[in-house]
Amino acid sequence: MISFVICLCLLIGGYFTYGKLVDNTFGPDDRETPAVAINDGVDYVVMPQWKLFLVQLLNIAGLGPIFGALQGALWGPIVFLWITFGTIFAGAVHDYFSGMLSERNNGASIAEVTGKYLGNRMKAVMRVFSVVLLVMVGTVFAVGPAGLLVKLLGEKGVTGPFANTAVWLAIILAYYFIATFISIDKIIGKIYPLFGICLIVMAVGVAIGMPLNGFHTPEIWTNFYSMHPANTPVWSFMFITVACGAISGFHSTQSPLMARCLKSERQGHFVFYGAMVAEGVIALVWAAAGCSIYEVTGGLNTGLSEALGAGQSAAIYDVCVKTMGSLGVILAMLGVIACPITSGDTAFRSARLTLADWMGLDQGSYVNRLKLCVPLLGCGAFLGFGNSFGLFSYQVIWRYFSWTNQTLAMLVLWSASMYLASEKKNFWITAVPATFMSAVSATYFSMAPECLGLIPFFKNNVAFAYPFGIVVAVVFLGLFMKASAKHRMSDGTKTAA
């Protein structure tokens, strides 16, 4: 329990110390924000800071920090270190710059921001990459809750149309369409803060309920080794698996939503860096729950693996009941149903804005919004109903998300590094985590079963994957240093001239 408390204090302290350093490096000022300058009443709407924080938290979190943290707990309490330091030095930095660079570019989507600093070729790649990723995320977060609702209602003896997954999927997609289409302050701005509070309350309840119910959290220093029941390597599988609980490229697609609603640039530290720290705290709590509730003599066994095997939603339900009793049942239901849905609708909304920036379509027009909402939700319906009728597997749609998610985070950090280099500011605060995530993504890609690991020679071949990841990271850092040096020399020449 001591190591858990230490990591918790480090996370909170990181917000006030390193987070402030990051904010000062960027240098927010009193310029007019896009929310004030554009204010179209649809996507550019000024909202109060507390609401921006809670909406951002729910946008980036959903059930990501819970699912990922529980999966990460399979490696044992060493996962606490990645959640803590990954959040402070990588995830929160990534979220801050993805939000503030968007804000400095009139609330542009992350594809446009990346293209500005990494070139037009990368912009073209990121546009396609972002939209595909967002549609996949939105679809998965519709299919999952629909299936769970049918399961829960079936246990209560409900029959008829509402015992059909396709019916609930249609209802959720209809909600998605409405939330994607109308003004951000009409639904998202009103109900998201409530669910954001529920997410925080659920984490607090689990944290307090663990010691009260006699669950002992193992210490890092007495369990500093991998406890994974399948002997899955820590590097880089744990770093990819935890995802949203430490760093997630998906967040960079969500931050521009709030970048369009800031009244002042000085709100960025609390809204972007702060929300990611809050997510890190939530992830730390759930990782501790995974390590504590399913602990046996000698460390973790297949208990947690079996709990997750029954379904991630079932595992969340189990943890909530064991730590909070009847209150946990209510919070668990809100969490496993509402939180994924609220991440899904903002995924489709972000996809709409990415396409709008790409095509130059003014989203103040109802007609232009319809032109994008209809095909986007149509793709979601095709994938979602395809899963329901057995045409696609839920796992097939989802299993490529983890690697692409962290690769996106890597690209955003390199973009932020180029921005800082061009402004002659301390680019190491983003270049170091960018280099690290380059190694993580390349290593995972070279041996994971859903990537190069499809080929028997590469599957879990650490002798090849580890050096490959290091080489890729060094090459990327070298390319960045060369490009940033040219950029600085070019600026110097212009100044001298």
Partnered with residue 300 across adjacent β-strands are 295
2-406 to CATH, choices 2.60.34.10, 1.10.443.10, 1.10.3210.10, 1.20.1740.10? 1.20.1740.10
Average pLDDT over residues 41-49: 93
C-alpha 63/C-alpha 53 separation (Å) is 17
C-alpha 16/C-alpha 13 separation (Å) is 5
Q: Which residue has the higher pLDDT, 145 or 246?
A: 246
User: Which pLDDT band holds residue 300 (cuts at 50, 70, 90)?
Assistant: low
User: Is pLDDT of 494 > 50?
Assistant: no
Tokens of 201: 């309350």
User: Which pLDDT band holds residue 223 (cuts at 50, 70, 90)?
Assistant: confident
Supply the DSSP symbol for 295: E
User: Which pLDDT band holds residue 497 (cuts at 50, 70, 90)?
Assistant: very low
Find how far residue 142's CA is from the centre of its chain.
17
Residue type at 176 in one-letter notation: Y
pLDDT at 388: 55
% the chain with pLDDT above 70: 92
User: Is pLDDT of 23 > 70?
Assistant: yes
User: Is pLDDT of 151 > 80?
Assistant: no
Coil, strand or helix at 268: helix
- Listed residue (11, 98, 19) closest to 270, CA to CA: 19
- Tell me the angle at which helices 366-388 and 120-155 cross, rounded to the nearest 10 degrees: 60
Largest CA distance in the chain: 79
Please give the span between the terminal C-alpha atoms of the chain, in angstroms, as a whole number: 62
pLDDT digits (tens, 9 = 90+) for 394-442: 445 555 677 888 889 999 999 999 999 999 999 999 999 999 999 999 9
Question: What is the sign, positive or negative, of the torsion defined by CA atoms of 69, 74, 77, 83?
Answer: negative
Specify the range with the lowest mean pLDDT, choosing from 54-58, 131-135, 233-237, 311-315: 311-315
Residues making up the chain, counted from first to last: 497
pTM assigned to the model? 0.90
Average pLDDT over residues 116-138: 87
User: Is pLDDT of 381 > 70?
Assistant: yes
- Listed residue (194, 191, 215) closest to 321, CA to CA: 215
Find how far residue 478's CA is from the centre of its chain.
28
Burial-class residue 493 by CB neighbours within 10 Å (0-12, 13-18, 19+): exposed
- Listed residue (182, 185, 195, 176) closest to 57, CA to CA: 195
Most confident of the following: 169-173, 301-305, 316-320 = 169-173
Average pLDDT over residues 379-393: 69
Burial-class residue 390 by CB neighbours within 10 Å (0-12, 13-18, 19+): exposed
Per-domain residue ranges of the chain: 2-406
Partnered with residue 299 across adjacent β-strands are 296
C-alpha 28/C-alpha 31 separation (Å) is 9
Q: Are 53 and 208 in contact (CB under 8 A)?
A: no
Residue type at 218 in one-letter notation: P
Residue type at 390 in one-letter notation: G
User: Is pLDDT of 58 > 70?
Assistant: yes
Q: Are 461 and 447 in contact (CB under 8 A)?
A: yes
If residue 300 lies in a helix (H) or strand (E), which one and from where to where?
strand 299-300
Specify the range with the lowest mean pLDDT, choosing from 52-56, 111-115, 263-267, 295-299: 295-299
Tokens of 299: 């460390």
